[in-house]
Amino acid sequence: MMDQGIIPAVKHFPGHGDTAVDSHVGLPVVDKSPEELEETELIPFRAAIQSAGTDGQVPAVMVAHILLTQLDPERPASLSPAVVTGLLREELGFAGAVLTDDLTMGAVTQSYGLGEAAVLAVEAGCDILLVCHGQDSVPAVRTALLEAVASGRITAERLDESVYRILRLKTEYALTNEPVSPPDLEALNAQIGAVPVQ
pTM for this model (two decimals): 0.86
Q: Is 55 left (phi over 0), alpha (psi -120 to 50) or beta?
A: left
Residue 193 predicted with pLDDT over 90: no
Sign of CA dihedral 81, 83, 88, 92: positive
With contact defined as beta carbons under 8 Å apart, do 107 and 76 qualify? yes
pLDDT category at 131 given cuts 50, 70, 90 is very high
Domains and CATH numbers, the chain: 2-194 (3.20.20.300)
Please compute the mean of the pLDDT values over residues 57-75 and round it to a whole number: 93
Per-residue pLDDT tens digits for 133-161? 888 889 999 999 999 999 999 999 999 99
What one-character DSSP code corresponds to residue 69? T
pLDDT at 3 exceeding the cut of 80? no
DSSP 17-45: SS-SS-TTTS--EE---HHHHHHTTTHHH
Q: Tell me, yes or no, if 24 is annotated catalytic.
A: yes
Q: Which of 22, 24, 133, 160 is flagged as catalytic?
A: 24
Residue-level pLDDT at 46: 92
Integer Cα distance of 167 and 163 in angstroms: 6
* Percentage of the chain lying above the pLDDT 70 cut: 93
pLDDT tens-digit series, residues 24-53: 888 889 999 999 999 999 999 999 888 755
Helix 114-124 and helix 156-172, axial crossing angle in degrees, nearest 10:
80
What sign has the CA pseudo-torsion 28, 29, 33, 36?
negative
Q: What is the average pLDDT score of the chain?
A: 89
Q: Does residue 72 have an active-site annotation? A: no
In this predicted structure, what is the pLDDT of residue 116? 97
**What is the amino acid identity at position 33?**
S
Residue of 12, 65, 101, 127 marked active site: 101
Instruction: With beta carbons less than 8 A apart as the criterion, state whether 158 and 126 touch.
Output: no
Q: Helix or strand or coil: residue 13?
A: strand
